[in-house]
Amino acid sequence: MIRPHGSDSLMPLLVEEPARLKALQEEAVNLPSMMLSSAAAANAVMLGAGYFTPLKGFMGKADALNVAEHMHTDSGLFWPVPVLNLTTEGEAPAPGSRLALRDPNVDGNPVIAIQDVEAVEVLSDDEVGFIAQHVYRTNDETHPGISTFASLGRVVVSGPIEVLNLSYFETDFPATFRTAVEIRADIEKRGWRRVVAFQTRNPMHRAHEELCKMALEAVDADGILIHMLLGKLKPGDIPADVRDAAIRKMVELYFPPNSVMITGYGFDMLYAGPREAVLHALFRQNAGCTHLIVGRDHAGVGDFYGAFDAQTIFDESVPEGALAIEIFRADHTAYSKKLNKVVMMRDAPDHQKEDFVLLSGTRVREMLGAGEDLPVEFARPEVARILMDHYAQETATTT
């Protein structure tokens, strides 16, 4: 099986040994505590679940600046996005202390992790802008990732952590949420050697379905990992439980048996475009996948990134050998009226725009909100029904 990133074996930080877990839970009662941001809590979940192997905790200022500018830590570890615990000055702990980190996303704010505080450092305005510009390629606060990053505080609390639980993901998504450890074990149990990962924060329509099948055939893979983001999104995105139901119905009806693993991971969307695509590749490698589909405007938002910037970053900025996973480069995919099938648009040079069934995200939401059927060339009817029911319920609760 493909090796994890930067390590011979996965390094999940979730404490599972009962005696150690009990001791840490008891210790946490008497420790000073800190309320995490949702972003930092998501980082803790990814560290706990092994997706962020080989990191041992939250980065310090030097690592964050190096990762932002050069995509590697001070020690030379390739990494595309800073993994930070940011807070405000009034809440900053003392260096050398142990700190109980509280979960903002669970009622009662239980302790999600314990951190050994190695350093407490302050980012200047220029350094905040520097990180944002390099990671997000913008400082425009209309970008949802920038607005979130700007709200997190300037104090960097760094140091290793031990994770006590995986937040709400295991309880809210018991059939879907899986750690990198669990996915690797399932891949090994199935005897799969080549596995294609498909990242999604949206429901999957016909084009996504066919793209997965194209990639499966093109790389001669044994199976597909449909890996959906289960954490926080921007307003207007489809909730995770609705996406989950729609994807499961699509796979049940339209994929060969035992060819797909439907799973999810606990992370908040960054909308960082190219840099997030590289992060997606890294933690899919940690999950045991050999290939990741990177399509048009992967992890993007609005017009902040070029259509294929998330592909070219692998050529221009990822050093050879930095990642073992390979990228399957996909074009915009749509239903061809001339060929009566879904194709990548680059493979149909004789087509005009009107030869494809193309719907914008806005138009899809308008049709669903109005209870209109989506074209069968665009969405499977059974999938569209789940989405229509969701939008009908949303409309009913807001009127």
What residues are annotated to the active site? 201-202
Residues 6+ apart with CB under 8 A from 377: 206, 335, 337, 357
CB 232 within 8 A of CB 169: no
284 close to 324: Cβ distance less than 8 angstroms: no
Torsion angle of the four alpha carbons 283, 288, 290, 293, in this order, in degrees rounded to the nearest 10 = -50
Phi, psi of 48 (to 5 degrees): -65, -35
Tell me the residue type at 132: A
Q: Are strands 341-344 and 333-336 parallel, antiparallel or unpaired?
A: antiparallel
Q: List Cα–Cα distances, 228 to 185, 236, 265, 268, 393, in angstroms.
A: 18, 17, 6, 11, 23
Please give the DSSP secondary-structure letter assigned to residue 68.
Answer: H
Nearest CA among 304, 299, 139 for reference residue 233 = 299
CA gap 46, 277 in Å, rounded: 16
* C-alpha 60, offset from chain centre: 22
Exposure string over 354-390, b if 16+ CB within 10 A, otherwise e: ebbbebeeeebeebbeeeeebeebbbbeebbebbbeb
CB-CB neighbours of 20 under 10 Å: 12
Cα distances from 121 to residues 26, 57, 153, 157, 177, in angstroms, run 29, 16, 11, 7, 34
| Burial class of residue 112 in the structure, from the number of CB atoms within 10 Å of its CB (0-12 exposed, 13-18 middle, 19+ buried) | buried
Residue 162 CA: distances (Å) to CA of 12, 266, 346, 356: 9, 17, 47, 51
Rounded Cα distance between 113 and 362, Å, is 40
Q: Which residues contact 94 (CB under 8 A, 6 or more apart)?
A: 117, 120
